[in-house]
Amino acid sequence: MDPKGKMARFPLFVLFFVPLFLIACTTPSWFPFQKGPPHKAKAKELVDKEVVIIDKREYVKVSNPRASEAGQPKILYVPVDEYLAQRQSLTPLTASQRQPQKDADSSPVSASPVLVEKVTPVAAAPVLSATGLKKKVLIPYFDDQTSSGEEVLGDWVTDRLIKEVQRRTQRVLFVDYEGVREFLEKKGLSPADLETPNVLRELNEVFGIHAVVVGRLAGPYVFISKGTKEPDVSATAVVQVEMKVVEALTGNAVRSLTASNPVLASKEKGSFSEEKAKLKAIDLTLTNLSGSLSRVLESLDWFCRVAKVEDRDVYINAGRTTGLKIGDVVEVFRPAESGGKEESKGRVRISSYFGLDASTGRTISGSEPDVNDILRLTKGGGG
């Protein structure tokens, strides 16, 4: 074979492949096969994880592997990059994996095997419309002022109330209190600070919380009528529950609710009548309150926040779980100054989900949003 022929073909080979190599390395914007942005790859890894954005940085909520050790928190917020590097050793918390603090149907008085009698049945929850968006609500454990120092009912009552509201409406999304409490502790804050405007604003910016429901439990006060035989023993009880709905955006209390049960309606006879009367009194009171609370929470205005802006991508603290859909258009507002009004800045179209309940979008009109700008769904959603 002619060696000159080989030499003649070599430059042609180089001239053909070198431009392709350079194109692959630079990947200009007009090239049809582009490498996806980093957040798109992350989004696939985090699609079923609970992600929050704190101070413009993404974190995954995980169960602390050292939670059994004294002084260790149950929940950790791990930076996304760190989580992706160590995910084999970390257990992310999702809505389906999170365990309640106590079984909502079990008795908080563990000393006696009590069966709780069902009270007035609750109507089935209405079907969520295609454009329905859920309001995020936090209910801390109730201030427990029980009549007996041996009983701790505040957290149990909170779980019962959440369950009752969830049976009445699908337009409310309850935020895990344990996760919020760990977040506050890391910030050097106490659950007692929940009603302060600065803490409410931070909970809204990080977790998208629309309202906090704080409550107080007084009782149960028990009245016992003794007979000559055990089956003749009867008991009645009364409990009072007070609660206040505080709006996170303004820091204002939008509604106060109080209820107590009819004493005679809690009457129980026979074995464990005292414990059964207590639980029946609580059930009756919460059934009464849950309807009013559901209506108050449903009436709150829905909005979300800009958590981060990176290049052209707008990160939003609401997404799939809340009910936002890909293609929805949200209007951007500059938060109102004291006594002023929100100022419209433009519109953003939702382009992808990020974790269980966050999303990203792109500006389609107006100016680019800033972190903590307020977003509201436009009329018709799809804009």
CA distances from 276 to 219, 235, 377 (A): 14, 8, 47
- Which tens digit of pLDDT belongs to each residue from 219-239? 888 998 886 666 778 999 999
Single out the residue of 219, 185, 221, 183 nearest to residue 204, CA to CA. Answer: 183
User: Which of 43-52, 70-79, 101-110, 292-301 shows the highest mean pLDDT?
Assistant: 292-301
Q: Beta partners for 77?
A: 61
Give mean pLDDT, residues 120-128.
36
Contact 153, 144 (CB under 8 A): yes
Q: Residue 111's pLDDT is what?
A: 31
Q: Residue 11's pLDDT is what?
A: 57
Q: Residue 189's pLDDT is what?
A: 87
Written as one letter, the residue type at 349 is R
Q: What is the DSSP string of 39-52?
A: HHHHHHHTTTS-EE
pLDDT at 178 over 50: yes
Structure tokens at 230: 């055990």
pLDDT at 57 over 70: yes
Greater confidence (341 vs 358) lies with 358
Parts of the chain belonging to CATH 2.40.10.410: 304-377
Q: What's the whole-model pTM score?
A: 0.74
pLDDT at 45 over 80: no
| 135-298 to CATH, choices 2.10.50.10, 3.40.50.1580, 3.90.550.10, 3.40.50.10610 | 3.40.50.10610
Helices (H), 27-79: 38-45
Element (H, E) at 143: strand 143-145
Single out the residue of 216, 118, 218, 138 nearest to residue 180, CA to CA. Answer: 138
Q: Cis check for the bond before 220: say yes or no (omega within 30 of 0).
A: yes
- Provide the mean pLDDT of the chain: 78
CA distance 346 to 332: 5
Residue range 304-377, CATH number: 2.40.10.410
Q: What is the DSSP string of 311-349?
A: TTEEEES--TTTT--TT-EEEEEEPPPTT---EEEEEEE
Q: Is 127 exposed, middle or buried (0-12, 13-18, 19+ CB in 10 A)?
A: exposed
Q: Residue 228's pLDDT is what?
A: 63
- Which tens digit of pLDDT belongs to each residue from 193-204? 888 999 999 999
Q: What is the DSSP letter of 273?
A: H
As a 3-state breakdown, the chain gives helix, strand, coil percent values, each rounded to 5, of 30, 30, 40
- The end-to-end CA distance of the chain, in Å, is 69
Q: Residue 99's pLDDT is what?
A: 40
CA distance 73 to 61: 12
Parts of the chain belonging to CATH 3.40.50.10610: 135-298
